[in-house]
Chains A and B, each alone.
Chain A
Amino acid sequence: MNVETIFFYLLGAVFVGSALMMVTRRNPVIAALYLILNFFCLAGIYLTLHAQFIAVIQILVYAGAIMVLFVFVIMLLNLSDERRLSEAISFKKIVAGGLSVALLLELLYIFVYRKTDLPTLNAERSIEIGTVESIGRHLFTKFLFPFEVTSILLLAAIVGAVVLAKRRLD
């Protein structure tokens, strides 16, 4: 077992553990903290795959920006031990549970039966792919159209947010 495999199992264990803790905590702030730990483990797993850029972006965007906003809102609303969240079983919950089970079965099918079909990468190639330069080059050549469409989508979302906030003010 090489160092990377050891790291993978270590990070994976903390990853799954923190995810479980996150959904079972009653206190929303503590749950948010477990989610941040979860993001860190994910970034660590990216690093073992030599994807430095994605790893840093994972921390910068999710742990550093989005979760700060989440924690800010949770604290502002001052939700302490939220018991109202544990409501009775509803239609929504049944659908969500069904979809989760379907996803789990799909993943199991891929990883257990179709294992040989998965693309493999050797170490040198993956180092090449993970750098900022190669991601940038691919974004602006091969994937230019999806990239531009995404930026238009984000722009539309920003305009929508401004319109909604403005209406409340006027």
Chain B
Amino acid sequence: MATEIVLISLLKILVVVLTILTCVVFLVYIERRVSAFVQNRVGPNRTGPYGLLQTVADVVKLLMKEDIVPRNAYKAIHDLAPIISIGVALSTFAVIPIGDTIELFGRQIKLIIADVNVGILYILAITSLGVYGITLAGWSSNNKYSLLGGLRSSAQLISYELSMGLSIVGVLMVSGTLQLDKIVQHQTTYLFGWLPAWNMFLQPIGFITFVTAAFAETNRLPFDLPEAEPELVGGYHTEYTGLKFGLFFLAEYANMITASAVITTLFLGGWHLPYVEYVGLSSFILSLVYVGTFCVKVAAVMMFFIIIRWTLPRFRYDQLMNLGWKLMLPITIINVLLTGIVLLILH
């Protein structure tokens, strides 16, 4: 029995990691095509049909490149930093429910790798470690631009992490659990009999502040201060080449997928497709529909990430700090208070 559980978990991990890595390849392609579309360019369209193999070619190029470590770099840490980045990016997915249970070969399998009862805290803890990859990369390169990028990354984390945690508190109060599985279950009901009870509608303020913090956490524009290419050459990864640079690149996009999945799970109803339970599908088909819904929702959030990149200019260092401490933190605290008052009146 014990070996069976281990085998099933290993299989789930394999499927999830392979899916994320494949998604990154397409995500990079889509990002480049959408960016081109926004800027009225054509974008990569030569390699393979519609340029679909462009990223594959890029990966091959990165694999072939020479790995250069600067002479005065701290070699061990320089090697360790990309591993931390990618490890953190992939391990967050362990607690995200991809779908409801599915029946395969006569047994019920939960579509979540680890259904721990501190799910949300686990996500917060792991994502807050991602900053070490960037900071250490910046420090170990022994380059002033890299160091500045790394320092900015730590300062950024300190600015947004509090409001990120506090914006989730509202969701916790509404659903009364830290288990992501149960938070999604809670969102499968309907408000007033027709509106899906997604936390996006129950917690609009928390939703906005969380999404803003998620942008800062994934280092996406308008908060891509650690790499700000016009100011810092390449930021923390200036001194990285070949596969190690590739790992940072991979980690950035894997982070984006994970952040989208967390937003979907916490605020957009997770794997649930409203009204589908009334159609009367068989349970196996329904499970597949749920998994499909989850993927579509995550893809939609990622598209939002990409479009925002070309909509807002980069924030300045002090502007981000002001935003984090003086605007978002008070707003999230007020949100927690309001949620508490409303819940008290309703019960």
A residues with CB within 8 A of B: 29-30, 33, 36, 52-53, 56-57, 59-60, 63-65, 68-69, 71-72, 75-76, 131-132
CB of A56, distance to nearest CB on chain B (Å)? 4
- Distance between Cα atoms of A48 and B124 in the complex (Å): 21
B224 at the interface (CB under 8 A from A): no
A59 with B125: CB separation less than 8 A: yes
B155 at the interface (CB under 8 A from A): yes
B339 at the interface (CB under 8 A from A): no
Q: Can you spell out 30 A-B residue pairs with CB atoms less than 8 angstroms apart?
A: A29-B77, A30-B77, A33-B136, A36-B132, A59-B125, A59-B126, A60-B121, A60-B125, A60-B128, A64-B125, A64-B128, A64-B129, A64-B161, A68-B128, A68-B132, A68-B135, A69-B158, A71-B132, A71-B135, A72-B135, A72-B154, A75-B135, A75-B139, A75-B147, A75-B150, A75-B151, A75-B154, A131-B117, A132-B117, A132-B121
A56 with B135: CB separation less than 8 A: no
B161 with A65: CB separation less than 8 A: yes
| Residues of chain A lying within 8 A (CB to CB) of residue B147 | 75
B118 at the interface (CB under 8 A from A): yes
A72 with B155: CB separation less than 8 A: yes
- Distance between Cα atoms of A76 and B135 in the complex (Å): 11
CB-defined interface of B152-163 with A at 8 Å, one 1/0 digit per residue? 001101100100
A59 with B151: CB separation less than 8 A: no
Q: Of all chain B residues, which has the CB nearest A55?
A: B118
Known: A36-B132, A65-B161, A68-B158. A56 touches B151 (CB 8 A): no
A72 with B158: CB separation less than 8 A: yes
| Residues of chain A lying within 8 A (CB to CB) of residue B128 | 60, 63-65, 68
B122 at the interface (CB under 8 A from A): yes
| Residues of chain A lying within 8 A (CB to CB) of residue B161 | 64-65
A56 with B154: CB separation less than 8 A: no
| Residues of chain B lying within 8 A (CB to CB) of residue A36 | 132
Q: Of all chain B residues, which has the CB nearest A60?
A: B125
B259 at the interface (CB under 8 A from A): no
- Distance between Cα atoms of A60 and B161 in the complex (Å): 10
CB of B330, distance to nearest CB on chain A (Å)? 14
| Residues of chain B lying within 8 A (CB to CB) of residue A52 | 116-118
- Distance between Cα atoms of A29 and B178 in the complex (Å): 34
B121 with A57: CB separation less than 8 A: yes
B320 at the interface (CB under 8 A from A): no
B118 with A56: CB separation less than 8 A: yes
- Distance between Cα atoms of A36 and B161 in the complex (Å): 19
Instruction: List 16 additional contacts besides A29-B77, A56-B125, A65-B158; criterion CB under 8 Å.
Output: A29-B139, A52-B117, A53-B118, A56-B121, A56-B122, A60-B124, A63-B125, A68-B135, A68-B154, A68-B158, A69-B158, A71-B154, A75-B150, A75-B154, A132-B118, A132-B178
CB of A105, distance to nearest CB on chain B (Å)? 36
B residues with CB within 8 A of A: 77, 116-118, 121-122, 124-126, 128-129, 131-132, 135-136, 139, 147, 150-151, 154-155, 157-158, 161, 178
Q: Of all chain B residues, which has the CB nearest A76?
A: B151
- Distance between Cα atoms of A140 and B121 in the complex (Å): 20
CB of A43, distance to nearest CB on chain B (Å)? 9
| Residues of chain B lying within 8 A (CB to CB) of residue A57 | 121
B121 with A68: CB separation less than 8 A: no
- Distance between Cα atoms of A76 and B161 in the complex (Å): 20
Chain B CB within 10 Å, residue with most, of A29, A60, A63, A69: A60
Q: Of all chain B residues, which has the CB nearest A63?
A: B129
CB of B41, distance to nearest CB on chain A (Å)? 39
| Residues of chain B lying within 8 A (CB to CB) of residue A131 | 117
- Distance between Cα atoms of A45 and B155 in the complex (Å): 30
- Distance between Cα atoms of A53 and B178 in the complex (Å): 10
- Distance between Cα atoms of A132 and B178 in the complex (Å): 8
| Residues of chain A lying within 8 A (CB to CB) of residue B121 | 53, 56-57, 60, 132
| Residues of chain B lying within 8 A (CB to CB) of residue A76 | 151
Q: Of all chain B residues, which has the CB nearest A69?
A: B158
- Distance between Cα atoms of A67 and B129 in the complex (Å): 10
- Distance between Cα atoms of A109 and B75 in the complex (Å): 44
| Residues of chain A lying within 8 A (CB to CB) of residue B155 | 72
- Distance between Cα atoms of A40 and B273 in the complex (Å): 39
A68 with B157: CB separation less than 8 A: yes
| Residues of chain A lying within 8 A (CB to CB) of residue B136 | 33
- Distance between Cα atoms of A65 and B147 in the complex (Å): 19
CB of B81, distance to nearest CB on chain A (Å)? 11
- Distance between Cα atoms of A56 and B165 in the complex (Å): 14
CB of B224, distance to nearest CB on chain A (Å)? 19
| Residues of chain B lying within 8 A (CB to CB) of residue A59 | 125-126, 129
- Distance between Cα atoms of A132 and B210 in the complex (Å): 23
Chain A CB within 10 Å, residue with most, of B116, B118, B136: B118
- A-B pairs, top 8 by smallest CB distance, nearest first, are A64-B128, A60-B125, A72-B154, A59-B125, A56-B121, A56-B118, A52-B118, A56-B125
